[in-house]
């Protein structure tokens, strides 16, 4: 009997003189490479390895991943080496820090490889749309929880009603509040600080409005949690471009009360600055010093648990009636697998999209923000089912 981890077996039946005969067909498993072995990247790799031949690439050498996942070392800034590595794979998954995400995505597209990406980079991914179409590449970007699943929900309803309002409140938080920050970085810490410094765009009365991050702090109550605070962050991203028909759209980040004001003090005092200062004849970047001091305090320790809270509200006219849809997510740390909620809610949305591409259920060429996936009803319900199977459950309320 032939056995191989790289073969996938399928069965079919034929009728021969009244007897059913089973035909066994073996074909190579599709190959996936995950760029980035961080909190989310490792979860994505483990999930995909149930159905595909998976490799993880990261700049840091480490022990092999659990299960069938392979591990290789790669410096993503070396474009030539990156192109050489990804060329043998059927799909590339991007899970790198935001500061390198755009260039990594561009390099993958130049290699004519389909890609699904969660890297939270400041550049506009749609600037690569012409290149992706030229290379005949399907590139799904921002495909996490937010941006990501909230976009998929928005895209689904925007294709079926005249939307007048979209709001997303979302945050990943530690289960236990610890002074002074009452926060743990459940994804790339440098990307967290980017949320606190990058100007926030949203849409009011049909016009794009820009306000500073951490502004418009509001108290919001959630069942099972209590009072959290919301503040402006640049999470709307592609929706401001792809859904110009919606006159009011905003996304706000959630934290425990008091955290936003503390981060404003840090920012306004220059601790997040990217401009060098001179101290005793030495050039120092304030942001680098701050990250060295903050990140150990923000790191999830053994025994720490997190949760993800998201509320997506959509209003508009549907078949002549004013409708309001509210999607609720309250996801918790998985104690059985020791997986953070943010890694689950982000990573599994991304791997759901990967299945759509690998199984040729979604093949739109060019840059695809997640709202394009949501426009397709089959894809929309596939993602919801996929997440539910992994106990990431979105509850829909119709008002």
148: left (phi over 0), alpha (psi -120 to 50) or beta: left
Q: How many CB atoms lie within 10 A of CB 54?
A: 26
Q: How many residues does the chain have?
A: 399
The answer to the question of residue 254 being in a domain is yes
The answer to the question of residue 317 being in a domain is yes
Helix axes 286-298, 189-197, angle to 10 degrees: 120
Residue span of the structural domain in which 277 resides: 149-343+394-398
The answer to the question of residue 138 being in a domain is no
The answer to the question of residue 293 being in a domain is yes
pLDDT tens digits for range 321-363: 999 999 999 999 999 999 999 999 999 999 999 999 999 999 9
Helix axes 377-389, 341-358, angle to 10 degrees: 140
pTM of the predicted structure, to 2 decimals:
0.90
The answer to the question of residue 173 being in a domain is yes
29 vs 6: CA distance, rounded Å: 5
Can you give the CATH number for the domain in which 264 is found? 3.30.360.10
The pLDDT value given to residue 123 = 93
The whole-chain average pLDDT of the chain stands at 91
Instruction: Report whether 110 contacts 132 (CB < 8 A).
Output: no
The answer to the question of residue 28 being in a domain is no
The answer to the question of residue 86 being in a domain is no
The pLDDT value given to residue 64 = 53
The answer to the question of residue 66 being in a domain is no
50 vs 151: CA distance, rounded Å: 27
Q: What is the CA radius of gyration of the chain?
A: 22
The pLDDT value given to residue 252 = 97
Q: Domain count for the chain, please give it.
A: 1
CA distances from 291 to 101, 294, 298 (A): 19, 5, 10
């Amino acid at each position: 009997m032939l056995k191989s981890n790289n073969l996938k077996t399928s069965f079919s039946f034929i009728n021969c003189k009244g007897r059913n005969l089973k035909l066994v067909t073996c074909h190579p498993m599709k190959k996936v490479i995950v760029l980035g072995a961080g909190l989310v990247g490792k979860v994505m790799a483990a999930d995909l390895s149930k159905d595909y031949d998976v490799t993880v690439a990261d700049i840091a050498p480490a022990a092999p991943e659990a299960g069938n996942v392979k591990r290789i070392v790669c410096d993503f800034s070396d474009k030539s080496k990156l192109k050489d590595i990804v060329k043998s794979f059927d799909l590339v998954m991007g899970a790198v820090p935001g500061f390198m995400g755009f260039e990594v995505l561009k390099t993958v597209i130049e290699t004519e490889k389909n890609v699904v990406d969660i890297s939270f980079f400041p550049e506009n991914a749609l600037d690569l749309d012409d290149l992706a179409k030229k290379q005949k590449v399907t590139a799904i970007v921002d495909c996490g929880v937010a941006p990501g699943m909230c976009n998929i929900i928005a895209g689904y309803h925007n294709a079926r009603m005249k939307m007048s309002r979209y709001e997303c409140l979302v945050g990943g938080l530690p289960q236990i509040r610890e002074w002074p920050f009452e926060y743990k970085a459940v994804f790339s810490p440098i990307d967290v600080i980017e949320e606190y410094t990058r100007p926030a765009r949203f849409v009011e009365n049909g016009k794009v409005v820009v306000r500073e991050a951490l502004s418009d702090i509001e108290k919001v109550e959630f069942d099972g949690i209590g009072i959290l605070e919301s503040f402006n962050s640049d999470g709307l991203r592609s929706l401001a471009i792809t859904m110009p028909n919606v006159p009011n759209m905003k996304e706000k980040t959630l934290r425990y009360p008091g955290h936003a004001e503390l981060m404003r003090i840090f920012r306004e005092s220059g601790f997040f600055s990217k401009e060098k200062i001179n101290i005793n004849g030495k050039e120092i970047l304030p942001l680098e010093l701050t990250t060295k001091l903050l990140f150990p305090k923000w790191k999830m320790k053994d025994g720490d648990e997190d949760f993800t809270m998201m509320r997506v509200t959509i209003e508009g006219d549907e078949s002549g009636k004013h409708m309001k849809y509210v999607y609720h997510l309250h996801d918790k740390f998985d104690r059985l697998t020791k997986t953070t909620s943010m890694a689950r809610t982000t990573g599994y949305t991304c791997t759901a999209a990967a299945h759509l591409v690998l199984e040729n259920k979604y093949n739109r060429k060019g840059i695809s923000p997640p709202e394009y996936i949501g426009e397709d009803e089959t894809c929309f319900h596939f993602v919801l089912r996929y997440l539910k199977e992994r106990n990431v459950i979105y509850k829909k309320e119709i008002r």
